[in-house]
Amino acid sequence: MKPSLLLLCAHLPAPDGTQAGMKCSYHLFRILSRHFQLHILCFATDAERPQYRPESFTIFESHELLPISHRHRITGVLTSPELPVAVGARNSEEFRRRISVLLSRHRFDAVILDHTAMWQYADQLSDIPIVCGLAHDVLTQLWARKQSSAHGVSAWLLGIEARRVRKWEAAAVNRMSMVMTFSEKDASLISALSEGASVFPIQPWFYRLASTSASRDEDSSRRNIVFWGALNRAENQDAVRFALEEILPVVRAQFPNAHFFVAGTVDKKLQETWASPGVTVTGFVEDVSALFSTMDVALLPLRLGAGIKIKVLECMSAGLAVVTTPVGIEGIAASEGTEYLLGQTAEEISAGVIRLLKDPAACRAIGASAQEFVARKFDFEVAAERLSVELISRIKCRALHRNL
């Protein structure tokens, strides 16, 4: 009989979710289902619930969805002042009650707490031999960046919260049997939080987009630049504003007909705010490969957020030349200058874009090198299978110790 694995998730896992984390979690669970009996209890936000498809959940022996609204998140924060805000937003007595019911009905060999905020539920899981945390990003880094980008009173308040996050996250790591991360970089950050942490880096799942073709007319005076990402996330909204306000004006001084495509799920208000001559806000994109085949450059000027950036990997996998920042490329050990271009300031980033637009051959070469790098270095199936082997080994080891 397969070992039994309980999954406690902060978000709805979905194979075609609008958030990268939803897809990463689902495809990881899909592979784990080959080796484990999976039972899942997950929160589902108002935006996520329409993406629930019963046929996708046949990989689970049982599944429960707990709706969570903005009001529920505020209640969670107010009723758990001892927790950082990002963690308290997933504090729920109803979720705890449902965990108790699951524990009374099943004997689990291990549990995965999917997203760092879910690590608060470890105190209910003392009878489960192996409690693992899945860190999509490292909250300590995320909040430190929020603080560094703020000013005045906001920076002071965010500094207080950043210190609370660091203290809580370090303690939470110590309650985990093992922490999984999606990059070696995040594994190092987790290890720095707790010297004795057991950390197991895997890889994120992402769409392997079809190779971009030279379908554009190279003699055309118009040059197409794309930002790709879920635009209901603050870090992506900040990146688009940075591009529109500081980067594109410099690019257009040399390429007046440069056209900027903002691609990804976006609310109507932002779509109306950003759309202008020379800017197309596409909203949800049905065929991303078709869109990318008409692009010259992927401009991903990220300044906020943490964790490995799926959007960067997807653009690279499609053979697009990427211009990004240290935040955008972290956790992706590609070679600067040959597999992507790097900039930190608006001047540096715009210079990278201009360089690629001026030299289409170099642009194609960087895109091809990026695509080859991703194909060579990233194999999610192999990484997820390695995790399955590790979990089974730990379960067997615990069982052996109990029987001695």
Is the Cα torsion angle 320, 30, 188, 42 positive or negative in sign? positive
Structure confidence at residue 232 as a pLDDT band (50, 70, 90): confident
Nearest one of 330, 334, 285 to 310, comparing CA atoms: 330
The residue ranges of every structural domain in the chain are 4-205+379-403, 223-377
Summarize the confidence of residues 70-80 as an average pLDDT.
95
Say how many C-beta atoms besides its own lie within 10 A of residue 381's C-beta.
12
Summarize the confidence of residues 18-32 as an average pLDDT.
93
62-71, 128-137, 156-165, 393-402: range with lowest mean pLDDT: 393-402
Q: Could you read off the pLDDT of 233-268 as tens digits, one per residue?
A: 889 999 999 999 999 999 999 999 999 999 988 888
The answer to whether the CB of 185 falls within 8 A of the CB of 333 is no
| Topology of the domain covering 4-205+379-403 | Rossmann fold (3.40.50)
| Topology of the domain covering 223-377 | Rossmann fold (3.40.50)
CA-CA distance, 348 to 361, in Å (whole number)? 21
User: What single-letter amino acid sits at 137?
Assistant: D
**Residue 279, pLDDT score:** 93
CA-CA distance, 90 to 9, in Å (whole number)? 10
Fold agreement between 4-205+379-403 and 223-377: yes
What percent of the chain is modeled with pLDDT above 70? 96
Query: In this model, does residue 214 exceed pLDDT 90?
Result: no
**Residue 397, pLDDT score:** 87
First to last CA, the chain: 22
Residue in the block written with tokens 């999984």: 180
**Residue 191, pLDDT score:** 95
C-alpha distances out from residue 11 to 108, 369, 388, Å? 21, 34, 22
CA-CA distance, 380 to 29, in Å (whole number)? 12
Q: Could you read off the pLDDT of 108-156 as tens digits, one per residue?
A: 999 999 999 999 999 999 999 999 999 999 999 999 999 988 899 999 9
**Residue 215, pLDDT score:** 47
Structure confidence at residue 288 as a pLDDT band (50, 70, 90): confident
CA 51 to chain centre: 18
72-81, 200-209, 210-219, 223-232: range with lowest mean pLDDT: 210-219
Query: In this model, does residue 28 exceed pLDDT 70?
Result: yes
**Residue 220, pLDDT score:** 55
Per-position DSSP letters for 262-287, written without gaps between them: EES---HHHHHHH-BTTEEEEES-S-
77-81, 217-221, 244-248, 254-258: range with lowest mean pLDDT: 217-221
CA-CA distance, 164 to 172, in Å (whole number)? 12
Nearest one of 234, 214, 240, 202 to 367, comparing CA atoms: 214
Query: In this model, does residue 31 exceed pLDDT 70?
Result: yes
Residue in the block written with tokens 């490969």: 289
DSSP class of residue 276 equals B
93-102, 114-123, 216-225, 320-329: range with lowest mean pLDDT: 216-225
**What is the β-pairing status of strands 223-228 and 297-300?**
parallel
Q: If you average pLDDT over every residue of the chain, what do you get?
A: 92
Degrees, nearest 5: CA angle 19-344-159: 70
Is residue 48 left, alpha or beta, with left meaning phi > 0 and alpha meaning psi from -120 to 50?
A: alpha
CA 273 to chain centre: 26
CA-CA distance, 178 to 48, in Å (whole number)? 28
CA-CA distance, 325 to 298, in Å (whole number)? 12
Structure confidence at residue 272 as a pLDDT band (50, 70, 90): confident
9-13, 182-186, 220-224: range with lowest mean pLDDT: 220-224
**Residue 1, pLDDT score:** 86
CA-CA distance, 192 to 166, in Å (whole number)? 11
Nearest one of 9, 4, 82 to 41, comparing CA atoms: 9
**Residue 402, pLDDT score:** 67
Who has greater pLDDT, 273 or 92?
Answer: 92
pTM, to two decimals: 0.90
**What is the β-pairing status of strands 178-181 and 4-9?**
unpaired
Alpha-carbon dihedral 392, 396, 399, 400, rounded to 10 degrees? -170
CA 161 to chain centre: 22
